[in-house]
Structure 1
């Protein structure tokens, strides 16, 4: 089954806030005014100032300057109210812009979700047809809103102003809801007062009744404009709420569709898994028994001389079940040494267990069978000695011969699995030594580059890097990534990008210096971080160099084109070996 096509993810975004709309000097001033005026402390200060002024003008020293009905206080009140109306309009416009941008962001996010949902549905449909032999397991239709959403833009405040009145309201809100309108109003009132005090205009002296009248009239107009703006914002908010609700309904609908598909697929997969598990376990159990039988015959025992040495069809059910148990637990046992069992996909990748791994597997397999024997009760089986060799005893008390037989049988595992269509691979995540996480990213990158440097340097020794030599190096790295006994080498080879850094004009002389420097730095990094891996790392670099040098030894058809290792290649190999010697680096 193919994987779903990649979709374009929406770039990571930050949530839209009102502060995002306040840019530039005017935006900063508007933000400052909103913070100062639109706060409870501002309300408390206003109440205190008014109460103090009225008290002083009634009972105190301000009786002569501003007696009841406090004309100056009312005049200042008018001025402040006019300014506040403009501040409210500015804030309303900022809120509208922020809401519009949020709507666009929500729309884009919903589109990204719908795109991903559509892709997942297509992926699940392919699974359906693969599991259902060309027929979908569940027929259902996508939510109709998904298609409508793509042709319906995000709701904007301006979209709610329709007709002549709407256009007039939008024009007024756009012009009056700006800091420039605030500046004009403030400057006009200051000029009017200044001209009256200087005698330039005598039409409206203190307490500026005409200006107060105009201010009151403007406030009335502004209040109506504010209410119109609120109505527009409310309509836009309603449309956004409706669209968000439809988005959520569509997403939930698609989630239910995917859940229903997955449930239908689960039933088929469970059925297939049960069948496969049964068949694979049966095959592995037979293979385990056959391997044990062959090992016993090779050790000189007569077939059929005891129940455990009979053909599978003649085995007692208890012994068959013991073999099935080992087959079921085989994957867990292999995982303990950083290996896994997979269907065969490349027979050339062969894993050989080292002595420590083989002994560990043999012991764990024996203890598993021993535990099963104890759980069943030893009396249930025909003969303790027949099935376990030396009786129902701990591993430590087994004879050397019995242990050797157990280890020998474990070494047969890769071949045994190959006979039933499986192979053993190393995962690179075993507990044997250091790994990528033990190194810094810089050191790990240097280590990876050093692998290519060792091979390419030898390849260039003859003048031009031969494709067969580079291919041999890549093959070695690929095999080492799954079959090398050391985790460090497996992870290092597995992370290689196979970047040679070669250009048409690259020469051995030009490549040699940087390559050897990289190898020296890599060797120092291993010695510094994982000294226990240093010997293996040196050996692997030399294995790469040797593989490249000997890549053309066999030649092609009937050995035609075979070339022996030349002195330049030997010199390059020696340079690689020398670069891995820390004592030379320290003394040099």
Structure 2
């Protein structure tokens, strides 16, 4: 992936209104908005006002606030003024949150466009390969993608134009704040307190002048609220337009990529048909040649096989062999294997070829036999014929290797794997493989290159051809971390190494007891391979042996430590 594509990272969390409510004032504004802007608040208001009017008409409040309920009207004015301030605060919070959402949407779109550009570049490379340097489909990016990079995300303040707009923005910003709310609420409380305490006699109860001022302030606030709504509406329209253009551009790019993929599909299908035909032909010939060799071996040197060479076969027989070759992959899939193409440079060594277990060979032989037209049913074959069929399929990995394919086990359906273990336990299992070999290597002093190469080769082969999924995944994932210090000696390495081996066997016994025997056997096999990697002991090569007593003792120590009950 390109640097642009890799650098484009979407934010982890979407912007919400609650993100703007920070600090004490923000918390108070949030509590007021949430508490007042609810249906329970409406019900409380209706019940309070209705109850007050009823009590003031027929009840004990008649002497305090009779019709036309002057004090109730005053309270209503006070509350309405406070509510106007709360609405303005909430409106400002919504505006700030909307601005941040616009920025996030802009950044998200840029990240998506960067990924799209990266994918288009990837398709360009495919075009050059498949089309031999020529583009398979001419198309141009959506023009909005280029414009988007130089056009800032819409903000509410952008909608303010002219002197009136600046005045409206100033009023909205100043009045839509908790400071304005505190001033509105505090002024009325102080005014009422001063009147009750006698500090001002200009506006005694029922505070007609304060009611007038509150009504006037509400009128101003209402107009400011409507101006703010208009600004938010205009900003919302611009954001909607930009989001629409973003979606249109993304859809356009998706259609471009689909069209290019369709064009590439035509080339790939053509190449695939050609390759499939060639591979099928070569595989059919190789399978036929293998059958001829098996038949020749059965008849002996003096006999003559009934099978004829490929070039002498009638077309009907060749087509039957081709059909058989096409079904080899399906047969391998039935036993948890697949055919993987290789090149001449990485053709598998003999040790890398999969060796089928008896049950796998039985299943594969039966499938191969049942695919032959007009054959004798498998259950009616003689024991000798079945054995010959089983022996024949054991050569299938070699036959496939001759035509450029390697048989690999898929890793599923044959036991536990890495995902069945805790990460720390899996690391312990991996280290157990390595220390089993290193401990034996240290038995005769320093670890030499031949021993390391032998161990790595065994792990490489096991990662491909071992019949157990657990061993394959362990061998494939093992990092060669020996834990050796430059001056390490056997005596220093023995205790931690054997503790690791024992801990690994305990993990296997706990998580997958059915795999314990195979795991222990593989640890011992690693120790054996290292011990037999070269001849050691003797004097100037005389009397050297592939396995010394000290190496044998180390192998026995590994085998003993691999017992979970040891």
TM-score after normalising by structure 1? 0.87
Give the equivalent residue in structure 2 for 1:327.
Answer: 325
d(CA) in 2 for partners of 1:108, 1:563? 70
d(CA) in 2 for partners of 1:458, 1:28? 68
Give the equivalent residue in structure 2 for 1:28.
Answer: 27
d(CA) in 2 for partners of 1:112, 1:41? 44
d(CA) in 2 for partners of 1:93, 1:511? 69
Give the equivalent residue in structure 2 for 1:338.
Answer: 336
| Contact 1:297–1:303 (8 Å) recurs in 2 | no
Moved more, 545-554 or 485-494: 545-554
TM-score after normalising by structure 2? 0.90
d(CA) in 2 for partners of 1:160, 1:458? 79
Q: 1:174 to 1:473 in 2, by over 3 A?
A: farther
d(CA) in 2 for partners of 1:569, 1:511? 14
Provide Cα deviations, 1:502-560, integer angstroms capped at 9, x if missing partner: 45576654443332212112112223333332222122112222333444559xxxx9x
Task: Look up the SS of the partner of 1:7 in the other structure.
Answer: helix
The alpha-carbon deviation at position 467 of structure 1 amounts to: 5.3
The alpha-carbon deviation at position 223 of structure 1 amounts to: 1.6
Provide Cα deviations, 1:479-513, integer angstroms capped at 9, x if missing partner: 21101122221122123233334455766544433
Aligned counterpart in structure 1 of residue 357 of structure 2, from 341, 350, 354: 354
Provide Cα deviations, 1:173-216, integer angstroms capped at 9, x if missing partner: 23322223212221221111011101011122112122222222
Moved more, 357-366 or 309-318: 309-318
The alpha-carbon deviation at position 241 of structure 1 amounts to: 0.7
| Contact 1:16–1:101 (8 Å) recurs in 2 | yes
Task: Look up the SS of the partner of 1:342 in the other structure.
Answer: strand
Give the equivalent residue in structure 1 for 2:403.
Answer: 420
d(CA) in 2 for partners of 1:502, 1:236? 66
The alpha-carbon deviation at position 100 of structure 1 amounts to: 1.7
d(CA) in 2 for partners of 1:229, 1:432? 67
Aligned runs of 1:175-324 on 2, under 5 Å?
A: 175-300=174-299, 309-324=307-322
Task: Look up the SS of the partner of 2:124 in the other structure.
Answer: helix
Provide Cα deviations, 1:460-483, integer angstroms capped at 9, x if missing partner: 556655455444433321221101
Q: Which runs of 5+ in 2 are unaligned?
A: none
Q: 1:476 to 1:85 in 2, by over 3 A?
A: same
d(CA) in 1 for partners of 2:415, 2:140? 53
Q: 1:532 to 1:58 in 2, by over 3 A?
A: closer
Q: 1:235 to 1:467 in 2, by over 3 A?
A: farther
The answer to whether structure 1 residue 454 and structure 2 residue 436 are counterparts is yes
Give the equivalent residue in structure 2 for 1:103.
Answer: 102
d(CA) in 1 for partners of 2:487, 2:211? 86
Give the equivalent residue in structure 2 for 1:387.
Answer: none
Give the equivalent residue in structure 1 for 2:463.
Answer: 481
Provide Cα deviations, 1:82-106, integer angstroms capped at 9, x if missing partner: 1000000111011112212222222
d(CA) in 1 for partners of 2:166, 2:449? 73
The alpha-carbon deviation at position 579 of structure 1 amounts to: 0.8
Work out the number of aligned pairs and report it: 554
| Contact 1:351–1:483 (8 Å) recurs in 2 | yes
Moved more, 403-412 or 249-258: 403-412
The alpha-carbon deviation at position 409 of structure 1 amounts to: 1.8
The answer to whether structure 1 residue 575 and structure 2 residue 560 are counterparts is no
| Contact 2:347–2:401 (8 Å) recurs in 1 | no
d(CA) in 1 for partners of 2:510, 2:61? 85
Give the equivalent residue in structure 2 for 1:91.
Answer: 90
d(CA) in 2 for partners of 1:361, 1:393? 16
Aligned counterpart in structure 2 of residue 492 of structure 1, from 470, 474, 481: 474
The alpha-carbon deviation at position 16 of structure 1 amounts to: 2.2
Provide Cα deviations, 1:254-298, integer angstroms capped at 9, x if missing partner: 000001001101111111111111111111111111111111111
| Contact 1:545–1:573 (8 Å) recurs in 2 | yes
Give the equivalent residue in structure 1 for 2:382.
Answer: 399
Q: Which runs of 5+ in 1 are unaligned?
A: 374-391
| Contact 1:4–1:120 (8 Å) recurs in 2 | no
Give the equivalent residue in structure 2 for 1:388.
Answer: none
Give the equivalent residue in structure 2 for 1:384.
Answer: none
Task: Look up the SS of the partner of 2:339 in the other structure.
Answer: strand
The alpha-carbon deviation at position 361 of structure 1 amounts to: 1.5
The answer to whether structure 1 residue 532 and structure 2 residue 531 are counterparts is no
Q: 1:304 to 1:539 in 2, by over 3 A?
A: closer
For the aligned residue pairs, the C-alpha RMSD in angstroms reads 2.8
d(CA) in 2 for partners of 1:166, 1:466? 83
Aligned runs of 1:525-564 on 2, under 5 Å?
A: 525-551=507-533, 553=535
